[in-house]
Amino acid sequence: MSRRAQPEAVGPTPNPHPPGETERSEEIRADVSRGDDESVAIRLKALVIYLMCGPETPELAQAAVEGGADLVELGFPFSDPLADGPVVRRAAERALARGMRTGACLDVLAATRERLPGTPLVPMTYSSLLEAHGWERFAEDARAAGATSLIVADLPAGEHPEVRRVQLVAPTSTDERLALAAASSDGWLYLVTVTGTTGAREELSPALAGLVERARARTELPLYAGFGISTPAHAHAAGELADGVVVGSRAVEVAEDGPAALATYVSSLRSALD
Amino acid sequence: MQLSYGEYGGRFVPETLIPALDELEAGWREAQDDPSFRAELDELGRSYAGRPTPLTLAERFAPGKRLYLKREDLLHTGAHKLNNALGQALLALRLGKRRVVAETGAGQHGVATATVCARFGLDCVVYMGVEDMRRQRPNLERMALLGAEVRPVEFGTRTLKEATSEAIRDWIATVRDTHYLIGSCVGPAPYPEIVRELQSVIGREARGQLLEAEGRLPEVAVACVGGGSNAIGLFAGFVDDPDVRLVGVEAGGAASLGSGRPAVLHGSRSSVLADEDGQVLDAESISAGLDYPGVGPEHAFLRDSGRAEYVGTSDEEALDAFRRLARTEGILPALEPAHALARVAELDEELVLVCLSGRGDKDLAEVTSR
């Protein structure tokens, strides 16, 4: 692990800049996805692991980072998650049954930040939670608890620009929408590899190559590919095209077996990427 | 966000769907500007669906009043849902989509969708919660006979809310060749507008028929509200007549307008049964068609503006109205409009128009088991 650059700029003080400042994007780009040394950067691919918020999440997040994750997404569960397949949906149902409402999730985020002062932490959630909490207040409270940015799965680019966040683009996105999303995305651009919801697939989506090509033509932001990536082979193949990969559903499943299992799984992805 | 109805509406959906919604909106505008679209829909209404539906004076049900029932229960397939399904099927054909996906609660929208797909040779998949499959068995069998594939939804509330989420997830994965035929005036823009326009035939016809029968407009127009499509269609005929009072009737355990709060569900911001964190709560109603924690954004707007008012009816009151209409008028209403009928007696107005949105055959098991 030591050869990989630590993302210094986002820790140990988690939030050096208020949202909307462009430096932040630059820092994440420079430090997370490419490393400080450009010669290293060419080899390095970012590995993003998604975990659903729960009492054991800080420990799991630490295990993921020890296994080689560069960034951790923390799912704030919503009752009706349209973008999610069965695994994340069930995890959300369980989390809600355990009381993981916005306040509890912010506590989990803060506890995770304590354990991982240097790792970018990005809550991923749905509009209804922001609507209820207050759009700007949600972003502020998340930042105060240690969030590096946000992902809102059902909030398309162009809407609520006051909420600075990582934008998602999909194979169906037009070139205009790709450009719009890239122009407002916070640090990196999330490429949804499939036309579909989250969850493991047999093969890496053939749509990724074309999406990477169209996105590269429109932005210099790092491109991380997610949805449907679950195996080291997927991670390797996606890493050949994009600057990083996001693994969600499979990580959520493995996390049920505890931190050691998660660390082992994440390091298998790490090895496949490097 | 550019919201369609005051603070309500919008498009809160994953990016994957945005281009499809743009395409749908463009196709809808073109269709509206194309006289042949309207002509084809009108002709299908006449020769296939049974429009215009009659207006029936119900003197024995409501003594002392002039109560008129707009008989959408007599429409082909037995409910107003066909108005919307026919129009959207024509739209799907214009957009070149050969596969249709839909959700259903009471099964009426599923049956209407299966019907138009059979008529136009489209593949049809309908999502239905297993709880609703249990209580609306006849409609399940009808959909199968019409050639639709009914996919059971076995998680969460196992009702219309989850069926809708699952239909949207299907659409996210199949959006290039599939049209999502939403059943109510909910969902991301432009769906609430499309469904309202396609259901506005209810209000337009009723307005003309009542003027002919009574020489005046109703004092009050009443309809049940789940997602709100028959109500928004009825109200469309009178919303510009300030003297006509508009009353929507919700199921007591699913009062999205009566006790909801602003939240985001199924792609739009509306009044939703939700907790203070924005998590959507379970609705509870004897009527599968009203058992939905959200409501069309235009209803939330009409409520806030004061143009329409919304009241509640309990399961027991709806059952009582169901039985009374059967005994006094020889009409078995669906449990959904029975909620609207239950509020008629207490209205101050004399000339009352109620949308009888569907017939009650599907509800016999539920009613006779009580």
- Quote the percentage of chain A above a pLDDT of 90: 83
Any idea which residue has 């029936």 for tokens?
A: B56
Q: What is the pLDDT of residue B3?
A: 74
**Nearest chain A residue (CA) to B165:** A82
* pLDDT tens track, chain B, 370 positions: 567 899 999 999 999 999 999 999 999 999 999 999 999 999 999 999 999 999 999 999 999 999 999 999 999 999 999 999 999 999 999 999 999 999 999 899 999 999 999 999 999 999 999 999 988 888 999 999 999 999 999 988 899 999 999 999 999 999 999 999 999 999 999 999 999 999 999 999 999 999 999 999 999 999 999 999 999 999 999 999 999 999 999 999 899 999 999 999 999 999 999 999 999 998 888 888 888 999 999 999 999 999 999 999 999 999 999 999 999 999 999 999 999 999 999 999 999 999 999 999 989 988 998 8
**How far is the C-alpha of A109 from the C-alpha of A114, rounded, in Å?**
9
Catalytic residue, chosen from B72, B103, B193, B336, is B103
Show Cβ contacts of residue A222 under 8 Å, excluding neighbours closer than 6 positions: A29, A32, A33, A34, A46, A187, A188, A189, A243, A244
Å between A263 CA and nearest CA of chain B: 30
Q: Do B169 and A103 touch (CB under 8 A)?
A: no
Confirm if A82 and B165 have CB atoms less than 8 A apart. yes
**How far is the C-alpha of B113 from the C-alpha of B120, rounded, in Å?**
11
**For the segment A90-141, what is each residue's pLDDT rounded down to a tens digit?**
999 999 999 999 999 999 999 999 999 999 999 999 999 999 999 999 999 9
Q: What is the pLDDT of residue B282?
A: 86
Superfamily of segment(s) A25-273: Aldolase class I (3.20.20.70)
Confirm if B254 and B246 have CB atoms less than 8 A apart. no
- Contact residues on chain A for B297, CB-CB shorter than 8 A: none
ipTM above 0.90, yes or no: yes
**Structural tokens at position A153:** 């799965």
Q: What is the pLDDT of residue A1?
A: 38
**How far is the C-alpha of A123 from the C-alpha of A146, rounded, in Å?**
10
**For the segment A169-178, what is each residue's pLDDT rounded down to a tens digit?**
999 999 999 9
Q: Which of A82, A160, A170 sits opposite B1 (nearest CB)?
A: A160
Does position A26 have pLDDT exceeding 80, yes or no? Answer: no
Model confidence pTM above 0.90: yes
Q: Do B12 and A127 touch (CB under 8 A)?
A: yes
**How far is the C-alpha of B68 from the C-alpha of B57, rounded, in Å?**
5
Structural domains in chain B plus CATH codes: 15-42+81-180 (3.40.50.1100), 51-80+200-368 (3.40.50.1100)
Q: Which long-range contacts (CB under 8 A, 24 or more apart) does A138-142 make?
A: A138/A102, A138/A163, A139/A19, A139/A163, A139/A164, A139/A165, A141/A106, A142/A106, A142/A109
Q: What is the pLDDT of residue A39?
A: 38
Confirm if B149 and B126 have CB atoms less than 8 A apart. yes
